[in-house]
Amino acid sequence: MDNEKKNNYLVPVFWGITVTGLIILLTMTAKKAFAAIVPNQKIRGCDAYGCGSFGASRGGRKHEGIDIVVSPGTKILSPITGKVIRYPFPYPGDIFYKGILIENEQYSVKIFYLNPTAIQNTTVKQGGVIGVAQNIASKYSPGMTNHVHMEVRDAKGNLLNPTNMFI
């Protein structure tokens, strides 16, 4: 009977320590590396053209980033301190819609649907203005929620889910 009492007593204590330890472990291992790129940042939900979450279906492929809801003309802030590498274009043959690629020793961040204001080959600070949001709904229709698209890769080029990486 003594052993049963010890076991009954130890199980709740064990679970309490495990859960607390797990919470601490998760808090310590979750990298919160990025600053919000707009105030009150929100990931685009689903609309007539799909969903803005990482991994959302895009027909035969998966969404490789997150879409952050913005109004056209909104100033976009850099999520990291890094060097502006280039200005990529999301659509082949369409130079109206633009992007920016910023890299540091840990991350490569590509943001589409903004007019870049940060100068190529210069360093931008985390939280500094890097561009102004474009009107992506004008390319599709008012059924598309206006947003900027953000993709993140690690230093080895592996695609990352940035959803929970914001400070």
For 136-150, write each residue's pLDDT tens digit. Answer: 999 998 889 999 999
The pTM of this model reads: 0.80
Distances (CA, A) of 19 to 9, 13, 112, 164: 16, 10, 40, 20
Identify whether the C-beta of residue 35 lies closer than 8 Å to the C-beta of residue 124.
no
Neighbours of 6 (CB within 10 A): 10
- pLDDT score, position 29: 44
**Residue 16 clears pLDDT 70, i.e. is over it:** no
**Residue 19 clears pLDDT 80, i.e. is over it:** no
Q: Per-domain residue ranges for the chain?
A: 1-30, 46-160
Domain 46-160 in CATH 2.70.70.10? The answer is yes
Q: Which residue reads 């649907």 in tokens?
A: 113
- pLDDT score, position 4: 45
- pLDDT score, position 31: 65
**Residue 104 clears pLDDT 50, i.e. is over it:** yes
For 43-97, write each residue's pLDDT tens digit. Answer: 999 998 999 999 999 888 999 999 999 999 999 999 999 999 999 999 999 999 9
DSSP code of residue 96? S
- pLDDT score, position 32: 81
